[in-house]
Amino acid sequence: MDHMEQREPKKDEDLQAETSEDTSVTPEEKKTPKKQGLLADLYDWLEVLAVSVAAVFILFAFVLRVAEVDGTSMTNTLQDGEKLLVQELFYTPKQGDIVVCQSEFFGFDKPLVKRVIATEGQTVSIDEETWTVTVDGVALKEDYVRYMKGQNMKGWSYGESYTVPEGMVFVMGDNRNGSWDSRDSRIGPIDERYIVGKVILRFAPLDHFGPVK
């Protein structure tokens, strides 16, 4: 009977030889996975960039808007030429807010930056001598107003008091004697539908950067 040939255990040198690098792989083939990795990374970055650009577009198309102060009616709170970020979506006017709006008197191509003094149903009265603005019998604390010492506040067209109609807001500039606003019946209260949004941030010039109140 034939005897089966017994094989000797492989030596360490043999195992090392079998597991050593395959010299048949060319340098070009070795570089291919690295190139593919770089392309994959580039694709990921481009995808992130595209998503970011789309998000910014949607944000500024439907949520935020950029506006510029034109004139001195909001001095000292805002200065002529300053750039503003405006919250547009899901905004309901509130007393004290600074808003960007449009007046039928001026036409819809000229935005106004003013402060909301009263909303629909509220009654406004003004003491021109003391510069006191009262809403529903409560005097407003207006630290933001630019007072003219020795002068009366510019008057208005409504007699002793005025009640804001439904769907309207009564707006005034912080520079009371340098602002054309709802006190003049030719402008009057602003229809809420013509309010672009609330000013939330001043971003230019950079030395004036910050939230707006």
**Best CA proximity match to 100, nearest among 120, 70, 79:** 70
Backbone phi, psi, residue 170, to 5°: -100, 120
Tally Cβ neighbours within 10 Å of residue 204.
14
Backbone phi, psi, residue 101, to 5°: -140, 175
Q: Who contacts 101 (Cβ-Cβ below 8 Å, separation ≥6)?
A: 111, 112, 114, 169, 171, 190, 194, 195, 196
Candidate list 73, 103, 179, 182, residue with the active-site label: 73
Tell me the one-letter amino acid at 110.
Answer: K
Active site residue 179: no
Do the beta carbons of residue 84 and residue 68 sit within 8 Å?
yes
Kind and range of the H or E run holding 153: none
Active site residue 35: no
Candidate list 10, 34, 114, 213, residue with the active-site label: 114
Radius of gyration of the chain (CA): 35
CA dist list (Å): 84 to 9, 64, 189, 191: 82, 10, 23, 22
What is the CA 109 to chain-centroid distance, rounded? 21
Residues marked active site are found at 73, 114
